[in-house]
Amino acid sequence: MLQWMENLNDRELERFLRENVSGKFFCGFSLLEKTPDHTYLSHLRFKIGQKRLAKLFRKFNAQLKAQGLIAEEFSFVEASQIISKTNL
C-alpha cells in the first residue's frame, strides 16, 4: 500500500523504508529493524498474485472512500484492445 500511495518502484521503496521512520512504522517495522530489499518486495508481490493484489486495492479504496478521504473524480479505462467500427 505504501508503494502505491507514494508512487515508488521496488528500489525506491527499499530506500524509503531504510531512511523514513514514518514509513517503517506504517509497515510495522521497529526503528532499528532491518527492512526488506527490492528483490524480496518483487518476489512477495509475485507470490501474492495479481488477483489478490487487485482485491486488496479495491478493499483499501473502498475504506478510504467510506471515510471520505478520497473521491473518485475520474475513471480511466485502458481500451487499446477494443476494436472500433472504423477499424472494421
pLDDT, one tens digit per residue, over 3-52 is 888 889 999 999 999 999 999 999 999 999 999 999 999 999 899 998 99
Q: For the chain, what is the radius of gyration of the CA atoms?
A: 17
**Per-residue burial over 36-73, b = 16 or more CB atoms within 10 Å of its CB, e = otherwise:** beeeebeeeeeeeeeeeeeeeeeeeeeeeeeeeeeeee
Summarised one tens digit per residue, pLDDT across range 61-75 is: 899 889 988 887 766
What pLDDT sits at residue 1?
82
86: confidence class by pLDDT, cuts 50, 70, 90: low
